[in-house]
Amino acid sequence: MHRRKFIQIAATAACVPSVLTPTERGAVILGHNNKRYRIDTQWGALDAQKYPVNDCHEMVQDRQGRILLLTNDTRNNVIIYNKNGQLITAWGTEYPGAHGLTLFDENGTDTLYICDNNRHQVIKTDINGRVLLTLDYPKAANIYQKADEFIPTETAIAPNGDIYVADGYGKDYIIQYNARGEYLRHWGGRGEGAAFLKNAHGICYDGRNPERPTLIVSSREENAFKRYTLDGQYLSTIPVPGAWVCRPVIKGDYLYAAVLMSANRPMQQSGFVTILDKNDRVVSNIAGSTPTYTNDQPEPMYQTIKVFQYPHDVCVDDDENIYVAQWNSGKVYPFKLTPV
């Protein structure tokens, strides 16, 4: 039995009595430079008997301003909040491996793409959960012997509707389909060299430079993001040393990412949130180390304040608030960060 298939957490959720003057958690200011926040750890808390969560994997905001959370508890895979953290509705019972949640504006209508690790599928639904399309493993790519080798973790949808699937727990390929779900091409995978990926956990479409849109893929175990053209040509690597970055999320000029854990304290609830500017430089680490560059290279980053355990995704809303969903963190509901 291979150890790493069964990495576990011996969680030590100890609470040390305070001998210092107490500071309200909400009064603590987290982050750096122009990206600093106050936190509300109770934002998403619900009655766990009625609306349970297991891992809180990903979050998005829809056109109505609502905040959608994807969890792998099949009693309610999608929980929908308003921005104040009040429950609006919930749906979804058929996604035991619910992992990736991407929202795409399809000609004025919100559609969702759910990656399911257990089902080895990507499922497109409407905003109320009605299934519109199901993607199985791409036989035409000739890279998979059987369905369960394909373990999708994330999707990104280009403006033309092309679907990019990151096989982050499978073989680390990026697979491009057209909007109808027909296989077009694939790239990435594991290997030696900059163009390859190691735990291709997340992907996003980066349209910040409208003349030259690109894709950004997380190579999480490598502690890096990698940039590719829309047809998979490798362009560059964005190093984030020390940071196990989940998916990149672009809002305005910035790239935000949940950092599952710090490389210096792996599997020890050592996550934080990182923010990069449009020049791909880290400008703020929420509950993490002060960003420092030496000879244009970032110094290794790490958690400094135990605010989060294992952050797995961030959602940035239309008021620049950040919501943080966490994996394997005692079934905790999402936190909210409000800009200072």
Residue closer to other proteins (CB basis): 248 or 288? 288
Residue closer to other proteins (CB basis): 155 or 289? 289
Residue closer to other proteins (CB basis): 11 or 88? 11
Q: How far apart are the first and last CA of the chain?
A: 49
Residue closer to other proteins (CB basis): 6 or 142? 6
Q: What is the 8-class DSSP label of residue 242? A: T
Q: For tokens 């969702």, name the residue.
A: 112
- Would you call 209 helix, strand, or coil by DSSP? coil
Contact residues toward other proteins (CB under 8 A) are 1-18, 20-26, 28, 41-42, 54-55, 117, 148, 151, 169, 262-268, 270, 287, 289-290, 292, 299, 302-307, 309, 327-332
Q: What is the DSSP string of 25-50?
A: GGG--EEETTEEEEEETTTT---TTT
Q: For tokens 């092309």, name the residue.
A: 162
Minimum gap (Å) between residue 56 Cβ and other proteins: 11
> Could you give the count of Cα atoms lying within 13 Å of 43 in the half-sphere of its Cβ?
24
- Would you call 324 helix, strand, or coil by DSSP? strand
- For residues 223 and 243, the answer to whether their CB atoms sit within 8 Å is yes
Residue closer to other proteins (CB basis): 28 or 131? 28
Residue closer to other proteins (CB basis): 24 or 319? 24
- Would you call 8 helix, strand, or coil by DSSP? coil
Minimum gap (Å) between residue 168 Cβ and other proteins: 9
Residue closer to other proteins (CB basis): 85 or 232? 85
Say how far apart CA 175 and CA 150 lie, in whole Å.
Answer: 11
Q: What is the 8-class DSSP label of residue 332? A: P
Q: For tokens 């795409």, name the residue.
A: 104
Minimum gap (Å) between residue 4 Cβ and other proteins: 8
Minimum gap (Å) between residue 149 Cβ and other proteins: 10
Return all residues near 145 (Cβ < 8 A) that are at least 6 apart.
none
Minimum gap (Å) between residue 330 Cβ and other proteins: 4
Q: What is the 8-class DSSP label of residue 54? A: S
Minimum gap (Å) between residue 276 Cβ and other proteins: 17
Task: Report the 10 Å Cβ neighbour count for 236.
Answer: 12
Minimum gap (Å) between residue 306 Cβ and other proteins: 5
